[in-house]
Amino acid sequence: MTTEPQDEQVEALAQLDALMEELNQAIESNPNDADAYHRRGVAFGQRVEPLEAMRDFNQVIRLRPDSAEAYYNRGMAHTSLHQALQAIDDYTETIRLDPKHLDAYNNRAASYIELRQPDQAMPDLEQALSIDANSASAHALRAMANTLLGDDEQAKQDSDRAVSLGFDPQALEYLVMRAVQQRVPDIGEIGPQN
């Protein structure tokens, strides 16, 4: 008998609910349990409840201000809420605490790209690729940044490399097309030609 994907999702949600209950009890019995707050914050993230996740990561940071992962995960919550500037701040703190945190570089670069600041993203992507030259995400993000910068030849090379490393080709095509559209100025921004 095969398990249906829907059954697997129901089981995963039940396990997540059980974990949440366990973590709620742990926090209730010890309000200074940074690990429980962190695990519950991650669980809230899995449940796509970024505000609740952020509250828990705030508690972790209060209890353990040197926790790179708490800043990183709070940055992820900001990212899911499209709060790019706050996300950048948290990813920056993550990198300060853990200079080899590949995902923090990638996500900070993605936040800069979201703000249409590809020139700010490029140093992060170069650093990410120095940490892991085979990071499909870093190559995909660099393709988007190069597209925004108008360097279509380099963007194509980065896209090809990202796909060869396992990045979904349809997803990347969509992201690059979005970057092309963002590169074109709005009609209202184009003034009369003299």
pLDDT in tens, 81-111: 999 999 999 999 999 999 999 999 999 999 9
| Together in a domain, 72 and 109 | no
**Containing structural domain, residue 68:** 13-99
| Together in a domain, 86 and 17 | yes
Model confidence at 193: pLDDT above 70: no
CA dihedral 97, 99, 102, 107 (to 10 degrees): 60
The pLDDT of residue 8: 84
Paired tokens of 146? 């190069």
Model confidence at 13: pLDDT above 90: no
How far is the CA of 58 from the CAs of 41, 94, 109, 190, in angstroms? Answer: 9, 14, 23, 44
Model confidence at 146: pLDDT above 70: yes
Q: State the Cα–Cα distance between residues 107 and 124, nearest whole angstrom.
A: 9
The pLDDT of residue 24: 94
- Amino acid making up residue 32: N
Paired tokens of 90? 């948290």
Cα first-last separation, the chain = 73
| Together in a domain, 63 and 117 | no
Residue that terminates a domain, selected from 99, 122, 151:
99
| Together in a domain, 141 and 162 | yes
Number of domains forming the structure of the chain? 2
pLDDT confidence band for 192 (50 / 70 / 90): low
Paired tokens of 119? 């020139």
**Residue burial 119-158, b: 16+ Cβ < 10 Å; e: rest:** ebbbebbebbbeeeeebbbbbbbbbbbbbbbebeeebeeb
The pLDDT of residue 187: 44
Mean per-residue pLDDT, 170-181? 94
Contact 36, 27 (CB under 8 A): yes
Paired tokens of 67? 């926790």
Per cent of the chain over pLDDT 70 is 93
Q: State the Cα–Cα distance between residues 169 and 128, nearest whole angstrom.
A: 21
| Together in a domain, 129 and 149 | yes
| Together in a domain, 174 and 164 | yes
62 part of a folded domain: yes
| Together in a domain, 132 and 117 | yes
| pTM metric for this prediction | 0.86
Residue that terminates a domain, selected from 51, 84, 99:
99
The pLDDT of residue 3: 57
Model confidence at 184: pLDDT above 80: no
Q: State the Cα–Cα distance between residues 44 and 165, nearest whole angstrom.
A: 30
Model confidence at 48: pLDDT above 60: yes
19 part of a folded domain: yes
Model confidence at 185: pLDDT above 70: no
